[in-house]
Every structure is written in C-alpha cells, then in structure tokens.
Amino acid sequence: MKKLFLSVVTGSLLLMSSLHAQVMTYTGSDEYIMSEFETIDIAKQRAEQKAIRNAQEQAGVYVESNTEVVNMMVTKDEIRTLTAGILKVTDVQYQLTPLEGGKSLIVKATVKADIDSNELANYLNRPLTERADLVAQNLELQKAIAAQDAQIAQLKRQLADKSQDTTNIADRFAAEDKIFLSNQQLTEAGKLYYQGNLNGAANHCTRAIELSSNNATAYSIRGAIYYKLNDFNSALADFNKAIEFNHSDYKNFYNRGLAYIKLNDYWRAAQDFSQAIQLNPNDADSWHNRGLCRQRLGDIYGAQEDLRKARTLS
C-alpha cells in the first residue's frame, strides 16, 4: 500500500541475462526452549520459524551478491522480502532434548530450503511500485512477529522470576499461542501475496483474524489486499479495525485515507492524512496526498503548502 520512491541504476534493465539459472539449497537451524505451559506442536513451529529465518539470512547473501552482479540497487528490506517470498522449504527435521526433569524441552529445528535464480530475475523485473508494495507488506508482518516474540520472552522472564505472580501464566501463554498461530497465517498470506494470489492471501488473513480477532496487522494487510482488488468498502472496514486495535501506526491512517479517496470522500481522506502526518511528520506521501485532497476541497493555499512540504521531504 505505501508508495515508496525507489531508484534503478541506469543501464540495468537487462536483468540477469548473463547468469545461468540455478537452484541454491540452504540449511537453516535454530532452537526454541519450550516452557511447561507450551505444547510441543507450538514449540516445533516456533523453532521452525527461527530455522527458516536462519536459512533466509544465508540466502540473503546470495541474493545481495547477485543483484550486485546485475548492477541493481536493492535495499536490505527488499532482500529480506525477496528471500521470504522465493525461499521454498523442502524438508524439516526436529530434535527434542529434555530439560529440568522433563518439564521443558529444547526443540531444535533444521530446515532445507531452495532458491531458484529464475525467481530472483522475475522479482527484479517487477515494476518498482509493485516491489514497494511487497516490501511494505513484509515489513508490517515482520514487525508483528517481532512484537510477539518479545511478548513470549517477557512471559518467560516472569516465569523465571519466582517473585512474580504467575497465577494466570498458563492463560497468557495460551493467548500468545493464538497470536503466534495468527501470525503464521499471515506468513502464508505474505507468500501468496508475493505470488500475486490476492484472494488466497485474503483467505489466510481471514483465518488469522479468526485465531486472534484483535490482530491489527491482519486487518491492515487484508485491507491492503481488498484495496488492490478494488473492493474499497471492504478495505475501509478493515482499516477501521486496524486503527481500532492500533491507533499509533500512521500507516493505518494513511491507507484508510487512500481508501477514502477511492470513495471520493476527500474531506475524510484529508483528516486521515493529517493524523498520519501527526504520527509521522516526515512522511512525504502523507503531505502529498493531503495536498491533493485539499486541492479537491478548494483549499488552494493549503494544498500548495502541503505539496511544497512533500517536495522538501522527498
């Protein structure tokens, strides 16, 4: 959804034409320490998620080196998005080691995953606006996953601190497990979004919401998908929910403003861009779009000021 200004080095449009197609295989490994309040199934999935990240980091080195070969300007965020989109897990193995008299386990996951260089070429040939959309979606998802990881780490610290009240700790772990499973659905949605399967991605977002009804990221991503599908009323409804559960993220207001523009409600759109500016004064797109809305509303002086500010930030 978020419009980004990306640049391409001159003369780099013949992408990877001199490179031989190849499939690279990576082995990623990591472990997760399961508490007595978690299930083995969830612990395996958490360990697998970490192992996949490890494989993605290794694959990112390959992606970065090959984009340098073809003289492409690709950001670190694009590399992460690309590897997440094209890395295909072919095998997963688990190793369980008991801890503390069997109450806890160290769950180690090892994954094998492939990257096809043809997929890298396909990505680099995509329009820059499409690449920016993919990056924005992946960044939002990774932010949600990191926040959930932090919550689990905090719960484990409280569990280790014997002075803390752990009366409701089992319920809190169960609630975090639902959020984790919800974000797993968003990970699958991200893969389908990358492949261009928007309806399939929306379905996974819906499952994510069913698992965790206050998952703001799920509403935000599904809203962006509905927007791309030209279902602007559904997009608006999802952005409303995203704002309800996360009032501090400027992108939710920005995206809802875009939906209001499509519905020809320029006054509400301008209000949302104003809120986005309040939360992030350095976002050029918010200033630019508010300026366009003010033009539509007849506020010529305000529009000029906004558009001037956007140019200074771009």
| Phi, psi (degrees; rounded to nearest 5) at 91 | -160, 145
State the pTM of this model: 0.85
16 vs 98: which has the higher pLDDT: 98
Q: What's the DSSP call for residue 168?
A: T
Q: Which pLDDT score, from 0 to 100, does residue 64 have?
A: 83
- Reported confidence tier of residue 8, pLDDT bands at 50, 70, 90: very low
Q: Which pLDDT score, from 0 to 100, does residue 67 have?
A: 72
Cα–Cα distance, 135 to 190 (Å, whole number): 10
262 vs 122: which has the higher pLDDT: 262
- How many CB atoms lie under 10 A from the CB of residue 98? 10
- How many CB atoms lie under 10 A from the CB of residue 181? 16
36, exposed or middle or buried, with CB in 10 Å at 0-12, 13-18, 19+?
middle
pLDDT (mean) for 242-246: 96
pLDDT in tens, 72-85: 667 889 999 989 99
Which residue, among 75, 83, 38, 33, has the nearest Cα to 57 in the 3D structure? 83
Place of tokens 């299930």: 39
Fold of 126-161+169-246: 1.25.40
Q: Which CATH class is domain 255-314?
A: mainly alpha
Q: Do domains 21-124 and 255-314 have the same CATH topology?
A: no
As its CATH architecture, domain 21-124 has Roll (3.10)
Q: Which pLDDT score, from 0 to 100, does residue 117 have?
A: 84
Judge whether residue 20 has pLDDT over 80.
no
**Domains of the chain, residue spans:** 21-124, 126-161+169-246, 255-314
3-state secondary structure of 309: helix
104 vs 278: which has the higher pLDDT: 278
Bridging pattern class, strands 88-99 and 23-34: unpaired
